[in-house]
Amino acid sequence: MPNITVTVSEETYRRARVRAAELATSVSAVVARSLDEFAAAGTGAEARTRRFEELRARTPLVSAGRRLSREELHSRPGKRR
């Protein structure tokens, strides 16, 4: 497994160690989990884009048809004039 070196301030590292201890984990585990989520988010977006393109390719083009008159456009069922 590769190692990564990250530089943070002493205060940030101290607070991270305290927080990790409260959660019964380590700073390394927290960073690894964050990187896993970060890396997975990119692939999720790519998958959604790919799925959208597949659906768009299968959807027929739709035409608006004839234009509505102003009266038809603004008429509402049950509306009194």
Contacts (Cβ under 8 Å, ≥6 apart) of 26? 20
- pLDDT for 18-70, tens place per residue? 999 999 999 999 999 999 888 877 777 788 888 888 888 888 776 667 787 88
Q: Which residue did the predictor score with more confidence, 71 or 43?
A: 71
Distance, in Å, from the CA atom of 36 to the CA atom of 30, rounded to the nearest integer, reads 10
**79 band by pLDDT with thresholds 50, 70 and 90:** low
Q: What is the pLDDT of residue 18?
A: 97
Sorted by where each begins, the domain ranges of the chain are: 28-59
Q: What is the pLDDT of residue 70?
A: 87
